[in-house]
Amino acid sequence: MKGNSLIKNVKTLGELKKSKYKVLSVKEEIRKNLLEKLEKGEKIFPEMWGYEETVIPQLINALVAGHDIILLGERGQGKSRIIRSLVNLLDEYVPAISDCEINDNPFNPICARCKRIVQEMGDDTPIYWVPRDERFGEKLATPDTTVADLIGDIDPIKVARGKFLSDPEVIHYGLIPRTNRGIFAINELPDLPERVQVALFNIMEERDIQIRGYKIRLPLDLLVVATANPEDYTARGKIVTPLKDRFNSMIKTHYPRSRDIEIKISEQESLMRKVQDGIKIEVPAFISSIVSEFTMQGRRSEEISQHSGVSVRMTISNYDIALASAYKRAYILKEKYAVPRISDLTYIVYTSIGKVELETMMEKSEYDVLERLFKKAVKTVFDEFYKVHEFESLIALFREDFRFEVSDMKPSAEYKAVFEKIPDLYELSQRIGNRKEPEFLASYLEFFLEGLFIYNRISKEVISGKYQFSSSPYVRSI
């Protein structure tokens, strides 16, 4: 009998017994549902990109084995998303004794209150069906986390209401017991104080906890998943050895290994992509590539600390900033499309400040480092499409004392005049989009100009927040 049909009918322990419902442990439940999904060919983690051949196979094996798991990785690698998605592997509903703080199994209660109720009421014990979303608990480990937070403490209100201190029902359970029969996640595990780590080890391994003199046997039914930075996890003194040994599977996450994967993640997580009010947001592939390449340049830079990492969240944030700038322009100027340009991307240098950590010996400012990485990103993408000599006609135009000003608020129609002067640009633009609308032509032209500036074929000057391109005094004939 399926859980969904039981929910409507089964309201007591007696009815649950008659239904022949079998209560599985949480790890058995996850294993069963996981294998069923795999048998049907369903994607287990549909929103996780880049882990199909690395992290996900390891994770699946660990879950089938019934292991408690620790995910090791730098910030912004999707560890929390993985953990939260595990909830989808739980049954939609499971039965528990009504009003129980720890979701007690009706057939085998472990808390004093539920044991008393079952003894007093027998088959009339009321049953509550717990939805899967209520079977997940999460805690960010901090140095001020206490044993009471995770395990429990004496509840003074229960004492005030007449309960004796000798009565085990005066205990107020912490986060872990309250996640009984579910998944409990601890983020940044090494940040837990040692005494809390010992308490966590005891509850995971020995099932014995002690609260203000109460030694209670609590055989909690849990899948425990933790996250940690690899450097903190392996550093001496950061985590007690018995607790480290308790996690059966250690899985190392990683940043996207290709630009395409990082772009997919950005598009999936983008808030601006969800904006719908008449202005169509269009993002040329080369713009997305620059945003992603900027982050990847940071991950390769010796000037940026790689111990703390360069988060995918930086890419997502920068992607949205570029789209927001384009959207603002389209809204104010009443343009049909919001198409990001290089002048929109210049904002990502500023918004990235604070998202990376420089190496301690660096004397340069964060802005200078990021600006240089941005230019490298533009050059890398430019080189994938063009050679500088292909723009000889455009460079020649600037030699004739031609000047062109760009900004994030310049109307797109004004860029079209350059294409009309140099029709060759239409042909060159086919490699990066081949759209003829003014909004796209503006984006293409700014990309051409920035590439030529980086190669010192034209000059660029900042005037009142706008960028003016002109002939470079150092330009050579190509």
Lowest mean pLDDT: which of 6-15, 16-25, 73-82, 422-431?
6-15
The pLDDT assigned to 213 comes to 58
The pLDDT assigned to 202 comes to 76
Interval 225-234 mean pLDDT: 84
202 alpha-carbon distance from chain centroid: 31
Q: Examine the domain organization and report whether 246 and 308 are in the same domain.
A: no
Determine the Cα–Cα distance for residues 353 and 366; give it in Å rounded to an integer: 7
- What confidence tier does 313 reach under pLDDT thresholds 50, 70, 90? very high
What DSSP character marks residue 77?
S
Is 18 contained in some domain?
A: yes
Q: Residues 138-155: pLDDT tens digits?
A: 999 888 888 888 887 766
- The one-letter amino acid at 159: V
pLDDT at residue 216 above 70? no
Q: Residues 56-114: pLDDT tens digits?
A: 999 999 999 999 999 999 888 999 999 999 999 999 999 999 999 899 999 999 888 89
Domain stop point among 191, 218, 252: 252
The pLDDT assigned to 1 comes to 41
282 alpha-carbon distance from chain centroid: 24
Is 422 contained in some domain?
A: yes
Q: Examine the domain organization and report whether 186 and 305 are in the same domain.
A: no
Interval 1-9 mean pLDDT: 56
Q: Give the residue with greater pLDDT, 293 vs 165.
A: 293
Interval 327-345 mean pLDDT: 96
Q: Examine the domain organization and report whether 171 and 289 are in the same domain.
A: no
Is 49 contained in some domain?
A: yes
- What confidence tier does 8 reach under pLDDT thresholds 50, 70, 90? low
The pLDDT assigned to 280 comes to 93
Lowest mean pLDDT: which of 163-177, 304-318, 371-385, 400-414?
163-177
The pLDDT assigned to 156 comes to 61
State what percent of residues in the chain have pLDDT above 70: 89
Q: Residues 247-280: pLDDT tens digits?
A: 889 999 999 999 999 999 999 999 998 887 788 9
Backbone angles phi, psi at 238, to 5 degrees: -80, -30
Determine the Cα–Cα distance for residues 50 and 227; give it in Å rounded to an integer: 19
The pLDDT assigned to 37 comes to 95
Is 277 contained in some domain?
A: yes
Q: Examine the domain organization and report whether 165 and 287 are in the same domain.
A: no
Q: Examine the domain organization and report whether 65 and 179 are in the same domain.
A: yes
Interval 6-33 mean pLDDT: 89
Q: Give the residue with greater pLDDT, 215 vs 30.
A: 30
The pLDDT assigned to 112 comes to 82
- What confidence tier does 406 reach under pLDDT thresholds 50, 70, 90? very high
The pLDDT assigned to 111 comes to 83
| Closest residue by Cα to residue 265 from 290, 292, 285, 283 | 292
Q: Examine the domain organization and report whether 226 and 348 are in the same domain.
A: no
- Parent domain of 7: 3-252
Q: Examine the domain organization and report whether 285 and 203 are in the same domain.
A: no
Average pLDDT, the chain: 88
Helix (H, G, I), strand (E, B) or coil at 422: coil
The pLDDT assigned to 199 comes to 80
- The one-letter amino acid at 201: F
Lowest mean pLDDT: which of 5-9, 231-235, 255-259, 340-344?
5-9
Domain stop point among 232, 252, 272: 252
The pLDDT assigned to 307 comes to 80
Q: Give the residue with greater pLDDT, 360 vs 458.
A: 458
Q: Examine the domain organization and report whether 151 and 265 are in the same domain.
A: no
Is 477 contained in some domain?
A: no
The pLDDT assigned to 338 comes to 96
Interval 342-361 mean pLDDT: 88
The pLDDT assigned to 6 comes to 58
The pLDDT assigned to 2 comes to 47
pLDDT at residue 476 above 50? no
The pLDDT assigned to 146 comes to 86
Per-residue HEC secondary structure of the chain comes to CCHHHHHHHCCEHHHHHHCCCCCCCHHHHHHHHHHHHHHCCCCCCCCCCCCCCCHHHHHHHHHHHCCCEEEECCCCCCHHHHHHHHHHHCCCEEEEECCCCCCCCCCCCCCHHHHHHHHHHHHHCEEEEEEHHHHEEEEECCCCCCHHHHCEEECHHHHHCCCCCCCHHHEEECHHHHCCCEEEEEECHHHCCHHHHHHHHHHHHCCEEEECCEEEECCCCEEEEEEECHHHHHCCCCCCHHHHHHCCEEEECCCCCCHHHHHHHHHHHCCHHHCCCCCEECCCHHHHHHHHHHHHHHHHCCCECCCCCCCHHHHHHHHHHHHHHHHHHHHHHCCCEECCCHHHHCHHHHHCCCCCCECCCCCCCHHHHHHHHHHHHHHHHHHHHCCHHHHHHHHHHHHCCCCEEECCCCCHHHHHHHHHHCCHHHHHHHHHCCCCCHHHHHHHHHHHHHHHHHCCCEEEEEECCEEEEEECCCCCCC
What sign does the CA torsion over 77, 83, 84, 85 have?
positive
Q: Examine the domain organization and report whether 236 and 279 are in the same domain.
A: no
Domain count, the chain: 2
Lowest mean pLDDT: which of 23-37, 119-133, 157-171?
157-171
Is 50 contained in some domain?
A: yes
Angle subtended at Cα 53 by Cα 47 and Cα 57, rounded to the nearest 5 degrees: 85
The pLDDT assigned to 231 comes to 78
State what percent of residues in the chain have pLDDT above 90: 64
Q: Residues 429-450: pLDDT tens digits?
A: 999 998 999 999 999 999 999 9
Greatest CA span in the chain, whole angstroms?
98
Domain stop point among 237, 252, 267: 252
Is 478 contained in some domain?
A: no
Interval 129-140 mean pLDDT: 94
H-assigned helices in 1-68 = 3-9, 13-18, 26-39, 55-65
CATH number, domain of 53, equals: 3.40.50.300
Q: Residues 36-53: pLDDT tens digits?
A: 999 999 999 988 899 999
Q: Examine the domain organization and report whether 341 and 281 are in the same domain.
A: yes
Whether this model's pTM surpasses 0.75: yes
pLDDT at residue 3 above 60? no
Is 24 contained in some domain?
A: yes
The pLDDT assigned to 170 comes to 65
Lowest mean pLDDT: which of 167-181, 195-209, 314-328?
195-209
Q: Examine the domain organization and report whether 232 and 280 are in the same domain.
A: no
Q: Examine the domain organization and report whether 266 and 246 are in the same domain.
A: no
pLDDT at residue 379 above 70? yes
